[in-house]
Structure 1
Amino acid sequence: MVMYGGLKEIPPSEKKIVNRLGLRWASPKALAETSAPVLDWLTKNQIKHLAVHFDLDVLDPSLFRSLLFSKPGEPPFNAPSGDMTLQQIARLIHDIYKQTDVVGLSIAEHLPWDALNLRNFMTAIPIFKQ
């Protein structure tokens, strides 16, 4: 069973699949103040063990910049960005932990552009070359 949490919208290319498989989803607005949509889904489906996949693009890119579409100096990337905060995600995961056995947590799409750019800068400076 799969539930998407934090999606503002489901891209048209995925909507048919989500509908065909009967996958549940909750918008950032639905999860902004409460974890109830996810907790109710866990209860309804009697989920005892859960793997959580945290895709960072559900985060508001003005609050968390290490995302694919936030590459400095590049034109805007046409991808849906999120509205959620790290505090909201932390609350959600904490609430899930209280209700079920979380057996795994993955974090995806972390692209620390500033760290990568700084590394590239440093490798171009003679003092840092070996």
Structure 2
Amino acid sequence: MRKYLLSLALVVGVVSMNAQEKVTNNVNMENKKSTLRFIYPQWQGGIVDHWMPDIPAEDSSRGYYLGAQLLNYLAPQTGQNTVEVPVSLDINDRATEKGISARSVILKQTKAALDLLKENHPDRIVTLGGECSVSVVPFTYLINRYPDDVAIVWIDAHPDINLPYDEYKGYHAMALTACLGMGDEEIMELLPGKTDASKALIVGLRSWDEGMQERQRKLGIKGLSPQEVANDRTKIMEWLKSTGVSKVVIHFDMDVLDPAEIIAAVGIEPNGMKIEEVVRIINDISSEYDLVGLTVAEPMPRVAIKLRNMLNQLPLLKD
């Protein structure tokens, strides 16, 4: 457990603290901008219990909720403005509608997240999730706030370009396409902005569901494997330069990390990126571009869940 927490602290603390510091010092910044810490413990977008048979299904499904709280606890306590999106913990509220599992509650929570952003009107957003769909609201907000001047760097083992009615119904696998304005009509109408596929880059990509490689090709989304970026940032920086933007939002799905180093997410695809590599890439980007959005997503604290369940069975603690 200690090793797990220390590893998470390294990832979250170093990434968020260094990225924010470098952005603040960026020569392109005219004034210090407001940053909102956005705690978004949405778990309903994942259908994950079958991947973790050693954990009770209800606990694994809601594990992202605990993961978001842990990320916030481990992240640097900077005193920045912090809000939390209200998220239902009702395990039974997950009916599949219009090709999306838990669509009704996701729609409700999307509205709540948007209301918080409209109320706070931040210039930058650091989002702690929660499964991958927690990037959709803050990224589309920022895309709308800075029209035609935002690129998405999606650091993830998977492309997250599913659509409603695909075989897999989890909304977290539809997150990037939602940022491109593709998906459920009612959800798309709620979102404040969208971007073109030419302004999205997937880094650390190494696993596709059936048909997703072909969809990625048709959409024209560039992807880079862990091996292509392990020791060289050139391809990422050249791609960013080609977009002509000055601002970047970064989505960091913890399943991109190599499970040989740390198992921090649901996905455990082999031959992933090292913590040091992810931290370096994010900070390299933030040193040359205005990093206006950063998401850390998909934390699945297996050990913490098991310890919590153990404590719940002990005497005196519940007196």
Shared fold, TM over 0.5: yes
CA distance in 1, matches of 2:258, 2:309: 26
1:22 corresponds, among 220, 223, 243, to: 220
1:102 corresponds, among 288, 291, 311, to: 291
**Residue type at the aligned position of 2:294:** L
**Residue type at the aligned position of 1:58:** V
For 1:128, the equivalent position in structure 2 comes to: 317
CA distance in 2, matches of 1:18, 1:106: 22
Write out aligned runs for 1:1-130 (5 A).
Answer: 1-69=199-267, 80-130=269-319
Report the TM-score, using the length of structure 1 for normalisation: 0.85
**Superposed CA RMSD:** 1.6
CA distance in 2, matches of 1:11, 1:100: 32
Cα deviations by residue, 1:20-53 (Å, 9 ceiling, x for unpaired): 1111111100111011111111001112111100
Report the TM-score, using the length of structure 2 for normalisation: 0.36
Structure 2 regions of 5+ residues with no counterpart? 1-198
In terms of mean alpha carbon deviation, does 59-68 or 89-98 score higher? 59-68
Alignment: residue pair count: 121
Kept in 2: contact 1:58–1:82 (CA 8 A): no
Structure 1 regions of 5+ residues with no counterpart? 71-79
**1:57 positional shift:** 1.0
In terms of mean alpha carbon deviation, does 116-125 or 6-15 score higher? 6-15
CA distance in 2, matches of 1:45, 1:110: 30
**1:15 positional shift:** 1.2
**1:19 positional shift:** 0.8
> Once superposed, which parts of structure 1, at least 4 consecutive aligned residues long, lie more than 2 Å away?
8-13
**Residue type at the aligned position of 2:318:** K
Residues 94/56 of structure 1: CA separation in 2 closer, same or farther (3 Å cut)? same
Kept in 1: contact 2:206–2:226 (CA 8 A): yes
Kept in 2: contact 1:49–1:102 (CA 8 A): yes
Secondary structure class of the residue paired with 1:114: helix
**1:16 positional shift:** 2.0
